[in-house]
Structure 1
Amino acid sequence: MSADTAPRYTSYPTAPHFHSDVDGATVEGWLAAIGEGERLSLYVHVPFCDRLCWFCACHTKQTLRYEPVAEFVAALMAEIELVGRLTDKRGKVAALHFGGGSPTMLKPEHLHQVMGALRGHFDFLPDAEISVEIDPNDIDEAKLDALAEVGLTRASLGIQDFDPQVQKAINREQSFADTKWVVDGLRARGVRSVNLDVLYGLPHQTQESVAATMAQVLSLRPDRIALFGYAHVPWFKKHQTMIDEAALPGADERLIQSQVAARIVAEAGYDIIGLDHFALPTDTLAKAARAGKLRRNFQGYTDDLCETLIGFGPSSVSRYRQGHAQNIPATGEYQRQVRAGTLPTARGIVFTDEDRLRGWVIEKLMCDFSFSGRQALELFGAAARKVLAEAAVVSQDEAPMLVREGDLFVVPEQHRVLVRVVAARFDPYFSKGTARHSAAV
């Protein structure tokens, strides 16, 4: 693996190191250990789209028929019931996120059924956040109404880029007018927070086209903006071979595009959050970052402090206090196992004490660009000394990307764009594994 690639560290240990020793029986024990009143997060993965965007690295499949989606919904309801019996309403749901794929492919009646099942088997806190990833091309008035009726509090819309040439090159044609219509419709229905996702490093993108897209994004005044570098991983997602590699910007151009976009957003009054997020100062994500409470999970940066995240649907990843668990990726096999009354766990990993320590260090670097030696010792005791010694060695590099400032080990501002590479220095799995990762910028 080259030094300019690294995991995105939405989990630690990362998914390539999960294994089949973690199975349904393991997860049953972890679910049974959830404490009375423990705050929970839930994630629902909808593995379908009505078109396949060539840039996408998510677990999804294209379907132009609704029957497979309806069959999936029936299996999803069975999984919710199964997990609900095992948790027996001991936890309190503080956050629910629908991802995909395209969750907005669900018909209103199915969205209501899924939410009814979730509320029937889990106790939701009155202020629970309910968020949904939205493809503006899937939305109509009835779906907007249904989202509002199930209690949507935060919407996340994929934009990628508004330039027609770029959109054609990634098979994602989506006008600014259609996007604005959805944003306006959500706000008219009382949805209090809107996030917009934008990509740089796409085919045919230039600094000028990125700047133009950011200006249009800012005209919608979203509460949050996520600015991601396109991950070109055709060895992992075969449909990315449809993208003309000759049209992709090089590493230097990618870096400049990210800097141009970030500068435009920051100058518009948004706080910079971690590596690639931005938020209005009044947003809860910005408040969490200022308070040192920013977290990172499978959805990226979050203000969700729950230690337990339960995933539903094919390929979804759960995080328990004891470890990670991932569901079967293949939708058909997932459905067969759930209908047989067994948890559809395919693999996972049990945390060691060292995993917890290194996971804390990596999350701190990804969220705060620093970590405290004193806090590491307070949380993990003498075991932290090994990692602190490693940090001291990294800080003595000829051109260090980690420097010591009193009690803190800090990533200097000029190196923060490469924080994933810094985090990988504390990841012993990284150097031993064979997984290929995306560009670090």
Structure 2
Amino acid sequence: MHLYIPEFAKLNAPRYTSYPTAAEFGSSVGAEQQFEALSQISVAEPISIYVHVPYCRQICWYCGCNTGAVGRVERLTQYIDALEAEIALVAPLVQGQAISVHFGGGSPNALGPALFARVVHSLRAAFDISNSAEWAVELDPRDLDAAMADIIGTAGFHRASLGAQTFSHHIQAKINRVQPFHLVANGAAMLKRAGVKHLNLDLMYGLPGQTLDDIAATISSALTLQPDRVAMFGYAHVPHMLPRQRMIEADALPSAEQRFWQSALAHDLLIDAGYEAIGFDHFARPEDSLTRAARSGGLQRNFQGFTDDPAHVLIGLGSSAISQFGNVLVQNEKHVGQYRMRVTNGRLAGARGVLVTPTDRLRGELIERLLCDGSVDLAEVSRQHDRPATAVLPCLEQLRAMEQHRLVKLDQCRVTLLPEGRPYARIAAAAFDSYRGGGQHRFSRAV
């Protein structure tokens, strides 16, 4: 089932958590467009809320997130003051009801129980949040205690994602994230006792010094925790963009071929354990809502990855958070100090972004459906967007090489990823990306 093809395995490509991607964001789009987009949300439009916490107790060298070390505790209080100021600015503009709330980072549990509960209270007081909304949070197991787990459960969170990455100590030391298995297991147990029903685990391949034996051992340990979902991310080594990654020895990183077989082994072990593959890097139990969404054609892709969240409007709160609307993508100010200054002075935090054209929306849906469903009909999607299929049919020519290697099947206007093509899904999707040019260095390895 697995086919290693060097010419594709060595390519870089966007993760396509949005289209256009964040690489196209510029300063010509900002708070003004953010205000207009927020004001135009109809009362019937379901929305999702994402809250970004840009702090961790300790910085991991592999991490690509916008985060920094906590340092002084006062920094957290000042940040929450600013976050509440932003909530007070944004919420009155929004008419739609929230059906999903997601906390990410950084490490949201770096806030501690009191500040975390304060943010939850502010959100509930300011926004119209459905009683059936899913609440989810990303957590660092190294900084999770019973008090924090209890607050998460009491606040009504249904799902928690634990960043495990790897259970091999020698790799943990190389990426500055030492966390024994028992620490993660204890965290999972505390969350379950607190009433958090669903557990996700985030794992990684392509880490320095990582071998197939490490992958097998980590998967074996992970399965004992009985997670509902497992994400298997490939490490993206881009030290020219993320200086902290310079601490990682480039010579210790697996080759493109080694990365491929690590991903393949993880896939096989999880499938053998009863999980179903979702997209190109997620796995879920057959009864999980993500699996049901994938089967019914309801799977979507946003800045949290593959999701069963049906909302098309995403409101990002906090520094660097990205909001997604039908005709614009807007990212908040990244620098925490400048973010605080903006919102405490009564200004929306949007600092950069991109306008989404009708052609972008068409190409974005082609990319999303191929990644989520494994197949897309160019003519049908073009018709739904009231655009001529002739505008995107030339993209098929870029897939001929993949067709020759039996990675995709081209049938008139339909593109289908074959089983051997699943690891190369991002490369296939890039055929529909009109922005993709010579800037592959901006993106991570596609496999």
Q: Is residue 347 from structure 1 mapped to residue 348 from structure 2 by the alignment?
A: no
- Counting only pairs closer than 5 Å after superposition, residues 28-427 of structure 1 correspond to structure 2 as 28-87=35-94, 90-391=95-396, 394-395=399-400, 398-399=404-405, 401-405=407-411, 408-427=414-433
Looking at structure 2, the residues matched to 175 and 434 of structure 1 have their Cα atoms a distance apart, in angstroms, of 36
- Of 417, 435, 443, which residue of structure 2 is paired with 1:437? 443
- C-alpha deviation, 1:392, in angstroms: 5.6
Looking at structure 2, the residues matched to 395 and 369 of structure 1 have their Cα atoms a distance apart, in angstroms, of 17
- C-alpha deviation, 1:428, in angstroms: 1.1
8 Å Cα contact 1:395/1:403 also seen in 2 = no
- C-alpha deviation, 1:69, in angstroms: 1.0
Looking at structure 1, the residues matched to 28 and 226 of structure 2 have their Cα atoms a distance apart, in angstroms, of 47
Looking at structure 2, the residues matched to 262 and 395 of structure 1 have their Cα atoms a distance apart, in angstroms, of 26
Looking at structure 1, the residues matched to 181 and 204 of structure 2 have their Cα atoms a distance apart, in angstroms, of 15
Deviations 1:29-82 (A, max 9, x none): 111100013211000000011101001010001123211111101000000010
- C-alpha deviation, 1:390, in angstroms: 2.4
Looking at structure 2, the residues matched to 434 and 416 of structure 1 have their Cα atoms a distance apart, in angstroms, of 20
- C-alpha deviation, 1:185, in angstroms: 1.2
Give the equivalent residue in structure 1 for 2:4: none
Looking at structure 2, the residues matched to 402 and 387 of structure 1 have their Cα atoms a distance apart, in angstroms, of 17
Looking at structure 2, the residues matched to 42 and 214 of structure 1 have their Cα atoms a distance apart, in angstroms, of 31
Looking at structure 2, the residues matched to 247 and 10 of structure 1 have their Cα atoms a distance apart, in angstroms, of 29
Task: Letter of the 1:15 partner, please give it.
Answer: A
Looking at structure 2, the residues matched to 434 and 343 of structure 1 have their Cα atoms a distance apart, in angstroms, of 32
Looking at structure 2, the residues matched to 10 and 213 of structure 1 have their Cα atoms a distance apart, in angstroms, of 26
Looking at structure 2, the residues matched to 57 and 307 of structure 1 have their Cα atoms a distance apart, in angstroms, of 25
Task: Letter of the 1:387 partner, please give it.
Answer: V
TM-score for both structures, normalised by structure 2: 0.95
Looking at structure 1, the residues matched to 171 and 158 of structure 2 have their Cα atoms a distance apart, in angstroms, of 31
8 Å Cα contact 2:379/2:389 also seen in 1 = no
- C-alpha deviation, 1:7, in angstroms: 0.5
Task: Letter of the 2:426 partner, please give it.
Answer: R
8 Å Cα contact 2:76/2:111 also seen in 1 = yes
- C-alpha deviation, 1:401, in angstroms: 4.0
- C-alpha deviation, 1:303, in angstroms: 0.2
- C-alpha deviation, 1:340, in angstroms: 0.6
Per the alignment, in what secondary structure is the counterpart of residue 72 of structure 2? coil
Change (3 A) 1:431 1:400: farther
8 Å Cα contact 2:276/2:283 also seen in 1 = yes
- C-alpha deviation, 1:206, in angstroms: 0.4
8 Å Cα contact 1:311/1:318 also seen in 2 = yes
Per the alignment, in what secondary structure is the counterpart of residue 153 of structure 2? helix
8 Å Cα contact 2:378/2:392 also seen in 1 = no
Deviations 1:288-321 (A, max 9, x none): 0011111000010000110100001111111011
Number of residues paired by the alignment? 439
Looking at structure 2, the residues matched to 385 and 32 of structure 1 have their Cα atoms a distance apart, in angstroms, of 35
Worse-matched range after superposition: 175-184 or 404-413: 404-413
8 Å Cα contact 1:394/1:400 also seen in 2 = no
Looking at structure 2, the residues matched to 209 and 399 of structure 1 have their Cα atoms a distance apart, in angstroms, of 30
Looking at structure 1, the residues matched to 68 and 116 of structure 2 have their Cα atoms a distance apart, in angstroms, of 19
TM-score for both structures, normalised by structure 1: 0.96
Looking at structure 1, the residues matched to 256 and 398 of structure 2 have their Cα atoms a distance apart, in angstroms, of 28
Looking at structure 1, the residues matched to 443 and 395 of structure 2 have their Cα atoms a distance apart, in angstroms, of 23
Task: Letter of the 1:127 partner, please give it.
Answer: S
- C-alpha deviation, 1:17, in angstroms: 0.4
- C-alpha deviation, 1:393, in angstroms: 6.0
Looking at structure 2, the residues matched to 126 and 330 of structure 1 have their Cα atoms a distance apart, in angstroms, of 34
Identity %: 42
Looking at structure 2, the residues matched to 136 and 46 of structure 1 have their Cα atoms a distance apart, in angstroms, of 16
